[in-house]
Amino acid sequence: MMSDAIRAVILGIIEGVTEFLPVSSTGHLLLAQRFFGLGDGSFWQSFAVLIQLGAILAIVVIYFAKLWNIALGMFSNPEDRRFVIGVLVAFLPAAVIGALAGGLIKSYLFNPWVVCFSLIVGGAILLWVDQLDHKPHEYDATKFPLPMYLAIGFAQCLAMIPGVSRSGASIVAAMLLGAEKRAAAEFSFFLAIPTMVGAFAYDLYKNRGEMTSDHLGVIAIGFVVSFVTAIIVVKTFLSYVTRHGFTLFAWWRVIVGTLGLIALAMGR
């Protein structure tokens, strides 16, 4: 029988690989949990949220110099201050909608059928966007117009539907609004920091009574694995998407969603 530690390693790898790719980490984790027979246990649902902080820490490490300079300059440099405000503006819609409707969304939409359909539809949208004749005019994720940051923030809210993909929604929105592919991807990374830290803090507080010493050990394993995996994936993803676009990830979504629907139809 598979131990919780091995499950934590596998789920940590899935989280690290999928968090910043436009393929939906939440969707993949929900499907993996069903495959492992973890059901709707509240601990494993919380585990999926809590280990996301490991992937977010990877972004902080990779962009530490840039983030540190922005933090130091936001009180004296107007451009740095404007970017911080832009990230907060983009984060605001998810914070408000998540606080008001998070419980309802988890109750009604967190099921594998929704995940599979969302993966397929999202894959089709990615294929469409990747084939458009883009004429980008925004090449620096730290210098988007403020209304563009807000629009990306609203688009990110679609990812509250499992299988949509937070990074996918924000990247597609940024590209449709004129961002170059690499800049769109980088801003999705930056926006992930407050979004996922907020989700982590909320879930940890809500489920603090369930966090036994055994649970903390399992979470620590998933956290470390997702951190290491995410560092490798982010560095590879940026160079790949700049050269090749998002077609690979679109077909990844369609294939996983289709296989998931077949498995569900067969009662697996």
> How do residues 148-167 score in pLDDT, each as one tens digit?
999 999 999 998 899 999 99
Looking at per-residue confidence, does 38 or 147 come out higher?
Answer: 147
Q: What tokens were used for 49?
A: 């949220």
Confidence of residue 103 (pLDDT cuts 50, 70, 90): confident
Looking at per-residue confidence, does 211 or 90 come out higher?
Answer: 90
CA distances from 236 to 20, 119, 201, 254 (A): 11, 22, 29, 22
Q: 200 pLDDT exceeds 80?
A: no
CA distances from 245 to 14, 52, 96, 117, 242 (A): 22, 25, 32, 23, 6
Q: Which amino acid is at 21?
A: L
Q: 24 in the Ramachandran plot: left (φ > 0), alpha (ψ -120 to 50) or beta?
A: left
Query: DSSP letter at 138?
Result: B
Q: 1 pLDDT exceeds 60?
A: no
Confidence of residue 63 (pLDDT cuts 50, 70, 90): very high
Domain assignments of the chain as residue spans, ordered by start? 4-265
Looking at per-residue confidence, does 36 or 140 come out higher?
Answer: 140
- Enter the pTM of the model: 0.88
Q: 41 pLDDT exceeds 60?
A: no
d(CA 116, CA 256): 7
d(CA 86, CA 74): 12
- Contacts of 43 by beta carbon, 8 Å cutoff, 6+ apart: 207, 210, 215
Q: 267 pLDDT exceeds 80?
A: no
d(CA 30, CA 40): 9
12-21, 135-144, 234-243: least confidently modelled range: 234-243
Q: Average pLDDT in the 83-106 region?
A: 89
Q: Average pLDDT in the 193-206 region?
A: 80
Q: What tokens were used for 120?
A: 């397929």
Averaged pLDDT of the chain: 88
